[in-house]
Amino acid sequence: MFNLSQKIRKYISLKYNNGILRIKLKLNKEPINTLLETRLASTKNEIKAAQQLRYRVFYKELSAHPNMITRFTRRDKDAYDKICQHMLVIDKRNKKRGVPLIGKRKEKVVGTYRLLPQRTAQENRGFYSQDEYDLLPLLEKYPKKNFLNWVVLVFYKHTEKNQP
């Protein structure tokens, strides 16, 4: 019987260095014509696209009520945006959905996560989820483990009604 962690390591490698989480997916050696790509945001414009997507989902699709600044900028942002890594799901097809990346004509952000490693959380505001859940027992039980807080999963739901 295969060990699950060994199977996962076969396909994914995680490296944390100098405050940056690197995630590599190991798939086939042959080139694959993929339509979706996942990567960490590397520019301010990519983070802005993630914030715009969150705005569309939270305030347009889910009918949340934005404050004046959020309504004006049309971006959902908070203090955690500065300390989190932003994982983007990018649609490489030329479709009218998602948030376009500046300078990338055919790439649109259709999904986003915010990732908050434990070390970064401890150096800053703490985990995003600590206001919702009591994480202290878990952290005390596994002091040698390094936790990663996956925060705010958002995917753009595309229908004729909510085309951008």
Quote the CA–CA distance of 107 and 16 in Å, as a whole number: 27
Q: What is the pLDDT of residue 2?
A: 44
The whole-number pLDDT of residue 150 equals 85
pLDDT by 10s per residue, the chain, length 164: 344 444 444 445 556 566 555 555 555 454 445 578 888 999 999 999 999 999 988 888 888 899 999 999 999 999 999 999 999 988 877 666 778 887 766 788 888 999 999 999 999 989 988 888 898 898 999 998 888 888 777 777 654 444 44
- Give me the sign of the Cα torsion angle 160, 91, 25, 41: negative
**Distance between CA 127 and CA 118 in Å, rounded?**
7
Global pTM value: 0.71
Place of tokens 């600044």: 69
Q: Which pLDDT score is estimated for 158?
A: 55
